[in-house]
Amino acid sequence: MIKVMTVFGTRPEAIKMAPVILELDRHSEFESIVAVTAQHREMLDQVLRLFDIRPDFDLDIMSADQTLFDITTKALTGLDRVLTAAQPDIVLVHGDTTTTFVGALAAFYHQIAVGHVEAGLRTLNKYSPFPEEMNRRLTGALADLNFAPTATARENLLREGVAREKIFVTGNTVIDALHRTVRSDFVFEDALLKAIDYRRKKIILVTTHRRENLGEPMRNVYEALKQIAEEFSDVEIIFPVHKNPKVREIVDAVLGGLAQVHLIDPLDYEPFANLMSRAEIILTDSGGVQEEAPALGKPVLVLRDTTERPEAVGAGTVKLIGTDRSRVYDETRRLLIDRTEYDRMASAVNPYGDGRAAQRIVRALLRHYRLTDAPFEEFQS
Ligand code: UD1
Ligand code: UDP
């Protein structure tokens, strides 16, 4: 059996790696070993519960107000021990977090092959998003197999000199996870979410967490949202606030105590995905949400100056608006009052996947280890 170790640590990595782990479990050719750094704790554990994943190794590294140095050093020494104990044939990492980069580095130090899931996303701006752009480039430099979600991501890798035969266009596993999770008859357990009249109210769903948005940029966004809430009585702003205390402090200071603004804890993935499907507009600086919302036909205003996910911007469902207060206010207001503009942005598109990305990744692994002759059929958007 080929030993495949998945290494991840944060909420989005867990959501996007879960379909791969479930697919590996369906193949007796592979022994699936799961190692989590737990760079996130509660936000990671809710995903593990939902997909019924029990890690074989848990480094439990998270600390309050952790720095990049804390995460990097703790994960690297912890993974050294894990790799020594488990001796996998290949390590799979996902995306662009510090766990991702360190997982690839630790595997390289042990001369173990690296597979990079969600490879090839680029802004080409070293500091935006920070530190994710460098995390994914450094991971790319260490990767032996690159699972690129889209043709654009493959082009980025080819431009950097990655050999074509090492790149597999698979679609993004986030769409696999979404397909398993969103249901039209979903009933919220949470009393607030259950009580909302989704036909009468316009739900604006908000998430923010990017390190480069901490401080003034976030404050500007929240000021704009406050103005929107004051102006539109049919709007309910639902804001599951990231656990980072640096985010919470600013959110509470600007938006605390407003009747139409619901500041809640991060939602578990299942209610969150189902809430996205009932929202009117989504404002976010998240990467994953930029991929999910277009598949649900929801307009997304991205609170960033750059994006490594240009496909949905091209399709018109996502708009990059930055964090300037008046721009955030104007763009949100426009979607609330201009039906034509709203409808233009609200058509469902699927540039990121068709729900079969994990199958393609596992097929590519089977082929890599010469365990199948079945052809690899790449994702076509
Ligand atoms: C991290 C990733 C980012 C990813 C994001 C997804 C890095 C450097 N950043 O950013 O790429 O987009 O996760 O959400 O890899 N906390 C808790 N409980 C949790 C999770 C976080 O209390 O379950 C708090 C802790 O105080 C922690 C802080 O949030 O110190 C920040 O977490 P961290 O992983 O460093 O940064 P994120 O902004 O979450
Ligand atoms: N998400 C969630 N609960 C929330 C907010 C987001 O489950 O309260 C999910 C969301 O559906 C997406 C992922 O978390 O799949 C995105 O994570 P995040 O925005 O933290 O990170 P990023 O994608 O920016 O790396």
Distance 293 CA to ligand 2 centre (A): 11
Q: Which two tokens stand for residue 50?
A: 């939902």
Ligand nearest to the CA of 12: 2
Measured from the CB, is residue 286 less than 6 Å from ligand 2?
yes
- Cβ atoms < 10 Å from Cβ of 245: 9
Amino acid at 239: F
- Cβ atoms < 10 Å from Cβ of 60: 13
Strand bridging mode 202-207 / 281-284: parallel
Measured from the CB, is residue 13 less than 6 Å from ligand 1?
no
Could you give the residue numbers annotated as active site? 96, 118, 132, 209, 211, 242
* Residue 211 Cα: closest atom of ligand 1: 38
Q: Give the pLDDT score at 333.
A: 98
- Rounded CA-CA distance 213/209 in Å is 7
Give the pLDDT of the chain (381 residues) as one tens digit per residue: 999 999 999 999 999 999 999 999 999 999 999 999 999 999 999 999 999 999 999 999 999 999 999 999 999 999 999 999 999 999 999 999 999 999 999 999 999 999 999 999 999 999 999 999 999 999 999 999 999 999 999 999 999 999 999 999 999 999 999 999 999 999 999 999 999 999 999 999 999 999 999 999 999 999 999 999 999 999 999 999 999 999 999 999 999 999 999 999 999 999 999 999 999 999 999 999 999 999 999 999 999 999 999 999 999 999 999 999 999 999 999 999 999 999 999 988 889 999 999 999 999 999 999 999 999 999 998
Residues in the chain: 381
- Cβ atoms < 10 Å from Cβ of 361: 24
Q: Residue 225 — φ and ψ, nearest 5°? A: -65, -35
Distance 222 CA to ligand 1 centre (A): 20
- Whether residue 351 has a cis bond before it, omega within 30° of 0: no
Q: Which two tokens stand for residue 372?
A: 């199948």
Q: Which two tokens stand for residue 235?
A: 């709007």
Task: Give the residue, by CA position, lying nearest to ligand 1 atom 31.
Answer: 244
* Residue 177 Cα: closest atom of ligand 2: 15
Ligand nearest to the CA of 100: 1
3-state secondary structure the chain: CEEEEEEECCHHHHHHHHHHHHHHHCCCCEEEEEEECCCCCHHHHHHHHHCCCCCCEECCCCCCCCCHHHHHHHHHHHHHHHHHHHCCCEEEEECCCHHHHHHHHHHHHCCCEEEEECCCCCCCCCCCCCCHHHHHHHHHHHCCEEEECCHHHHHHHHHCCCCHHHEEECCCHHHHHHHHHCCCCCCCCCHHHHHCCCCCCEEEEEECCCHHHCCHHHHHHHHHHHHHHHHCCCEEEEEECCCCHHHHHHHHHHHCCCCCEEEECCCCHHHHHHHHCCCCEEEECCHHHHHHHHHCCCCEEECCCCCCCHHHHHHCCEEECCCCHHHHHHHHHHHHHCHHHHHHHCCCCCCCCCCCHHHHHHHHHHHHCCCCCCCCCCCCC
For residue 156, give the nearest of 128, 129, 130, 118 by alpha carbon.
118
- Cβ atoms < 10 Å from Cβ of 123: 18
Q: Give the pLDDT score at 348.
A: 82
- Cβ atoms < 10 Å from Cβ of 165: 7
pTM: 0.98
- Rounded CA-CA distance 129/211 in Å is 8
